[in-house]
Structure 1
Amino acid sequence: MCCLSCGFIGLGLIGGSIARALKENIPQIRIIAYDISAETLRLALHEGIVDSAAPAIDESFSDCDYIFLCAPVKRNDANLAAVKKVMKPDCLLTDVGSVKSGIHEAVHQAGLDECFIGGHPMAGNERVGFVNSKASLLENAFYILTPTSSVSQRQLEAYRSLVLKMRAIPLILDYRKHDYVTAAVSHLPHIIASALVNLVHDRDSEDGIMKMVAAGGFKDITRIASSQAVMWQQICLSNTSNISMLLDDYIKALTAFKEDLDAKKETALYDRFEDARLYRDSFINASSGPIKRSYSISVEIADKSGALAHIVSLLAGRGLSIKNIGITHNRESDDGVLKIEFYEERSMTEAAGLLKEKGYIVFLLLL
């Protein structure tokens, strides 16, 4: 794909990560960007991610083969009007929003159906801004494409090929189905996480004992509550009907769970937990899914100088590659728990055996 030209309107976490992925995997690509932050553009130019910074949505974008709308959703109408004036006839227009109905309606009103394919990279984290963007954010993540009915198959296949070059997994959906699906697996979980955090906040004692001991499952399930409030406010206001309908179903499920709990129905409670466990495990076992099996161990270590280096040295001496490593201090003692993740089960098992031989307390975390 020689001399491909891509324009970015907005260069935050997602836009920046897409630009980095394109730059990393298509060496001859040319990237033009506009962002309201001069510092963002300066940094992108300095790092070589952007070849040209535009002062506005102007003729700088007239040679672009693709234009990515990555600014906040509330700016889409104004940005679409500006882009329409400068984009060339065969340019493909796309976006990165997590709700698709609004942008599809706006595109239709602007008369741009024949050149628009909605895009939603199912990736991200709690951090925001170009400074936190990275090409690897898109690797093995689903990248949903929502073409209009007027887009040609050739345009769709070309964009799908571009997504593959980003090392993401393209998935083509109708935009209405996209909004229903993401309401269940993305939007509703943020509401649940935020509600749980607020519950602990409201029910905690004056000495904050709940907050102090919160770890493990609470930390995992509420991690996404640290996301940007304004973004999730806008998502809720943009996908209200789908989220509300699924939230109603979730409340009914919680009510049924509570009734079994109050009645101490042993079999019913067991079945609920077991059904959830089996279905959740099926996500991990699915070869095409983004949730991959994790091969990790936890190792109890003394909180003293050289403890971590000793373990890493032992594993390196055996030729075992570490995928990820981190220390968690969440126990009553002053010691820590070292979590080490490996690329494969064989390495995990061998590492556990080696460390046990050296006197460490080790637990397998095969999830």
Structure 2
Amino acid sequence: MAQPTGHTRPAGTKGEGAQPTYVAGRVGIVGLGLMGGSFAKALASAGREVYGWNRTHSVTEMAMIETIKGELTDDIIPTCELIILAGYPQVSIDWLSEMAPLVSPGAIVIDTVGVKRVICEKCGKIAEGYPWTFVGCHPMAGTQYSGFAHARANMFHNAPLVVVPPDMDDDIERVELLERLKSLLAPCGFGSFTLTTAENHDRMIAYTSQLAHVVSNAYVKSPTAQEHKGFSAGSYKDLTRVARLNAPMWTELFLDNADNLSAELGALIKNLAAYKEAIDTRDAGRLEELLAEGDRLKREAEGR
């Protein structure tokens, strides 16, 4: 079975001449939650053979009824051209560490984790001893819900996929790898592929995603939130959508990116303090200045 067991398998090598054992286009997915399930549904709907594994076996069984061809077992792993790690950060790292010897030469392993430094460092190090390639990935899509039941085949349509390519000496080989990855993921319908470093990804994602989740989650802790019915419209819904979250998963993500997230929180707290001071002192000029500045910066950030 594909669950890490703790025993040791023979180490692989990067030696040339290793022959692929995968079936072209076959995909293995580790973790069948919202992300993994959506990959499974998108790829299976395009006719790809998809195999999956989930810590809760009942989820795998449910996916086998309507989406995947079968369970991602030890004998199936070597037949997959693409393996997608769609679990929590540490679960993904542990699975790859245990199953690395089974991955086919020439296969591509990607992840969907929302932080990249820890994943790319650890999974990249695991991949060094084997004739397959790890590529860090982060689909910029999702909902406030979790689990296979909420996965959908069109989750990634027109969404960006952030890609952290591995260090490669040969630029042509690197381009070929990325083009092959695009082809393998074509049924998902990603709108763009953004190449970056793990460091830059984590810096940016602290602002565009993680900060928004913290703010939304903190915002609903006002006692007034329990009385909002009949008084709320779009603004409330927009700001609170991601207050609902998977607490264990986001705790791991926040702590894996603590330095960047803390810096963004510090900047936000400083800015909020300026608004509060202007309101407390009834300083209309200062408040209007702050509001106009925010409006201007929003327009500049969006190019209009």
Identify whether the pair has TM-score above 0.5, normalized to the shorter chain: yes
1:135 Cα deviation from its structure 2 partner: 1.4
The match for 2:202 among 155, 170, 179 is 179
Structure 2 counterpart of 1:38, one-letter code: H
- Aligned-residue sequence identity (percent) comes to 26
The match for 1:15 among 36, 56, 75 is 36
Distance (Å, rounded) in 2 between the aligned partners of 1:276 and 1:110: 45
Mapped contact 1:143–1:163 kept (Cα < 8 A) = no
Distance (Å, rounded) in 2 between the aligned partners of 1:257 and 1:84: 52
Aligned to 2:105, what secondary structure does the other structure show? coil
Aligned to 1:140, what secondary structure does the other structure show? coil
Structure 1 counterpart of 2:155, one-letter code: L
**How big is each residue's C-alpha offset from its partner over 1:244-277, in whole Å with a ceiling of 9 and x where there is no partner?**
0111111111112222223333233223323333
Aligned to 1:23, what secondary structure does the other structure show? helix
Distance (Å, rounded) in 2 between the aligned partners of 1:214 and 1:118: 43
Q: How many residues align?
A: 274
The match for 1:215 among 225, 232, 235 is 232
1:39 Cα deviation from its structure 2 partner: 2.1
Distance (Å, rounded) in 1 between the aligned partners of 2:302 and 2:34: 27
Mapped contact 1:3–1:30 kept (Cα < 8 A) = no
Instruction: Give the equivalent residue in structure 2 for 1:77.
Output: 93
1:117 Cα deviation from its structure 2 partner: 0.8
**How big is each residue's C-alpha offset from its partner over 1:205-228, in whole Å with a ceiling of 9 and x where there is no partner?**
xxx863445522223201211111
RMSD: 2.3
Instruction: Give the equivalent residue in structure 2 for 1:354.
Output: none
Q: Which runs of 5+ in 2 are unaligned?
A: 1-22
1:137 Cα deviation from its structure 2 partner: 1.3
The structure number with the bigger radius of gyration is: 1
The answer to whether structure 1 residue 125 and structure 2 residue 146 are counterparts is no
Please report the TM-score for the alignment, with normalisation by the length of structure 1: 0.69
Distance (Å, rounded) in 2 between the aligned partners of 1:222 and 1:36: 30
The answer to whether structure 1 residue 6 and structure 2 residue 22 are counterparts is no
1:176 Cα deviation from its structure 2 partner: 0.8
Instruction: Give the equivalent residue in structure 1 for 2:250.
Output: 232
| Distance change >3 Å, CA 275–CA 164, structure 1 → 2 | farther
Instruction: Give the equivalent residue in structure 2 for 1:137.
Output: 155
1:30 Cα deviation from its structure 2 partner: 1.2
Distance (Å, rounded) in 2 between the aligned partners of 1:224 and 1:147: 29
Q: Which runs of 5+ in 1 are unaligned?
A: 287-367
Please report the TM-score for the alignment, with normalisation by the length of structure 2: 0.82
1:238 Cα deviation from its structure 2 partner: 0.9
Aligned to 1:32, what secondary structure does the other structure show? strand
Instruction: Give the equivalent residue in structure 1 for 2:120.
Output: 104
